[in-house]
Amino acid sequence: MSKAHNLNRLSYFAAVVETGSFTNAAERLSVTKAVVSSQVSQLEQELQATLLVRNTRKVSTTEVGKIFYEHCASILNEAEEAFSALSQLTENPIGTLRVTAPNDYGKAIVTPLVAAFRRNYPDCQVELYLGDNHSDLMAGNLDLAIRVGWLRDSGLLARKLGVFKQLLVGPADKFALLSHIKHPNDLVGIDFIANTAISDPLQWQFKTTGNKRISVKLKSNLSINSAPAIKEAVKNGAGLAILPDYLVQKDLIEGKLIQVLPDWQLPEGDISAVLPASKFRAGKVTAFIEMLRRAEKARIDS
């Protein structure tokens, strides 16, 4: 079976035709003229045809050489297009982006972001999977998983995109009563709704700006495993609760909830992007992560 054609030789031949000499072709291609001479000779050997007539101080193309050159020019032009098309796709990504995010964070932050992403990159499609079960990146169906909280497996390739604060909130119509709570110890006896979707939902560590820490064990007569549901319960006067800022930020601004103990900070959590193992990042993934990072920075700055 005949050996495959060596397409790399085409560029040596084309350079000679275009520059008019082996010497100039060598200069253009940054190789020695012996290489150009040899490569073209081998091409002629492979074709069993003379492509170039080597006259004194002048190289001219034979008739068959001219025909072959037209093909070469076309091939090399399209090859250049092919390679640059790929680098173009970094700026103008294409394809379907498949993202998973936790329910709460997804609804509050990712869903509006996806709409903006589609506006920015009309050649992309998005498939957004919301859920609190950790989707398996290994299955290869996903481009990106957004993790909120604390990563259990530090071996994953995670990229931190932002942080979220946790706020102690209560219903707005109990402002008078809640104004008297000035210290975490004042929470004793106050109704508290525990979020059983997280581990150890009653043990909390408060911190002031002076780095004073108080660890408080709260008591709860009501526990729910859904943060949005807890938020609704708080609004209905069922008690206080600790919820992530991205979930309650809007209700605080609208006066439906009020923050209790605003001078005391609770532990922050990470917002991370977890990516499947891959050597290269598709433009669509890079673009989306960058938008999410910017959105998180804007949210924190407001």
Partner DNA sequence: AATGATTGTAAGCTTTTAGCATACAGCTTG
Partner DNA sequence: CAAGCTGTATGCTAAAAGCTTACAATCATT
Binding span for a copy of itself by CB under 8 A among 76-84, 151-159, 246-254, 262-270: 76-84
Nearer to DNA, 176 or 277 (CB): 277
Tell me the two tokens of residue 282. Answer: 């598709």
In 3D space, the residue among 133, 130, 128 whose CA is nearest the CA of residue 116 turns out to be 128
State the Cα–Cα distance between residues 60 and 75, nearest whole angstrom: 21
Q: DSSP H helical segments within 143-257, as ranges?
A: 175-178, 227-235, 245-253
Tell me the two tokens of residue 147. Answer: 């993790």
Which of a copy of itself, DNA, none binds 192 (CB below 5-8 Å, type-dependent)? none
| Phi/psi-derived region of residue 237, left when phi > 0, alpha when psi is between -120 and 50, beta in every other case | left
Binding map of a copy of itself across residues 221-260, x = CB under 8 A, - = no contact: ----------------------------------------
Tokens 């993202």 found at: 99
Nearer to a copy of itself, 23 or 41 (CB): 41
Tell me the two tokens of residue 183. Answer: 């210290």
State the Cα–Cα distance between residues 78 and 70, nearest whole angstrom: 12
What is the contact surface with DNA in residues (CB under 7 A)? 6, 8-9, 21-24, 30-35, 37-42, 54, 56-59, 138
- Choice from 32, 40, 75, 101 touching a copy of itself (CB under 8 A): 75
237 vs 148, 264, 269, CA distance in Å? 27, 22, 27
Segment 118-177, which members bind a copy of itself (CB under 8 A)? Answer: 140
State the Cα–Cα distance between residues 161 and 190, nearest whole angstrom: 35
Nearer to DNA, 27 or 186 (CB): 27
State the Cα–Cα distance between residues 202 and 219, nearest whole angstrom: 7
Which of a copy of itself, DNA, none binds 40 (CB below 5-8 Å, type-dependent)? DNA
Which of DNA, a copy of itself, none binds 223 (CB below 5-8 Å, type-dependent)? none
Which of DNA, a copy of itself, none binds 99 (CB below 5-8 Å, type-dependent)? none
Provide, rounded to whole angstroms, the least separation between the CB of residue 21 and a copy of itself. 16
The helix/strand/coil state of 59 is strand
The helix/strand/coil state of 267 is coil
State the Cα–Cα distance between residues 9 and 11, nearest whole angstrom: 5
Binding span for a copy of itself by CB under 8 A among 89-97, 167-175, 242-250, 263-271: 89-97
- Choice from 57, 82, 152, 176 touching a copy of itself (CB under 8 A): 82
The reply to whether 89 sits near a copy of itself by the rule CB under 8 A is: yes
Q: Answer for the pair 92, 109: CB distance below 8 angstroms, yes or no.
A: no
Provide, rounded to whole angstroms, the least separation between the CB of residue 64 and a copy of itself. 5
Query: What residue ranges bind a copy of itself (CB under 8 A)?
Result: 1, 4-8, 10-11, 29-30, 44-50, 53, 55, 62-64, 67-68, 71-72, 74-75, 78-83, 85-87, 89-90, 94-96, 140, 278-280, 282-283
